[in-house]
Structure 1
Amino acid sequence: MNKHALFLAGALVAAVPGFAVEPAPNGITLPEGYRQWKVLSVHHRSDNNTLRAVLGNDVAQKAARDGKTNPWPDGVVLGKLVWKAVKHDRWETAVEPGAFIHAEFMIKDAAKYASTGGWGYARWLGKEQKPYGADANFVQECLNCHIPVKDRDYVFTHPVQLPGDPER
Structure 2
Amino acid sequence: MRRKAVLGLLALGLGVLAQGGFPYPEGFRFWTHVKSMEIKRGHPLYEAFGGLHHIYANPQALAGYLSGKKAFPQGSVIVFDLLEAKEEGNALLEGQRKLIGVMVKDPARYPETGGWGYYAFGPDGKPLAIDAKACHACHQGAANTDFVFSAFRP
In 1, distance between residues paired with 2:27 and 2:126? Answer: 18
Q: What code does the residue aligned with 2:108 have?
A: A
Q: TM-score, normalised by structure 2?
A: 0.79
Q: Percent of counterpart pairs with the same letter?
A: 27
Of 10, 17, 39 in structure 2, the residue corresponding to residue 23 of structure 1 is: 17
Q: TM-score, normalised by structure 1?
A: 0.73
Q: What code does the residue aligned with 1:71 have?
A: A
In the alignment, does 2:19 pair up with 1:33? no
What aligned pairs does 1:142-153 form with structure 2 within 5 A after superposition?
142-153=135-146
In 2, distance between residues paired with 1:65 and 1:145? Answer: 24
Residue-by-residue CA offset, 1:52-87 (whole Å, 9 max, x unaligned): 11000011223323334x111111110100101100
* Match of residue 3 from structure 2: none
> Which segments of 5 or more consecutive residues in structure 2 lack a partner in the other structure?
1-9
In the alignment, does 2:107 pair up with 1:133? no
Kept in 1: contact 2:99–2:122 (CA 8 A): yes
In the alignment, does 2:65 pair up with 1:64? yes
What aligned pairs does 1:9-158 form with structure 2 within 5 A after superposition?
21-46=15-40, 47=43, 48=46, 49-68=50-69, 70-87=70-87, 89-90=88-89, 92=90, 94-126=91-123, 128-133=124-129, 138-158=131-151
Number of aligned residues: 136
Residue-by-residue CA offset, 1:3-35 (whole Å, 9 max, x unaligned): xxxxxxxxxxx9xxxx99531111111124323
Kept in 1: contact 2:139–2:149 (CA 8 A): yes
Instruction: Call closer, same or farther: CA 1:111–1:45 in 2, change over 3 Å.
Output: same
Instruction: Call closer, same or farther: CA 1:117–1:130 in 2, change over 3 Å.
Output: same
In 1, distance between residues paired with 2:34 and 2:65? Answer: 8
In 2, distance between residues paired with 1:108 and 1:60? Answer: 9
In 1, distance between residues paired with 2:142 and 2:63? Answer: 21
CA RMSD across the alignment: 2.1
> Which segments of 5 or more consecutive residues in structure 1 lack a partner in the other structure?
1-13, 162-168
* Match of residue 5 from structure 2: none
| Larger-Rg structure | 1
Residue-by-residue CA offset, 1:88-135 (whole Å, 9 max, x unaligned): x22x2x312111101111011122211111101110011x1221117x
Q: What code does the residue aligned with 1:109 have?
A: D
Q: 1:156: how far off?
A: 0.5
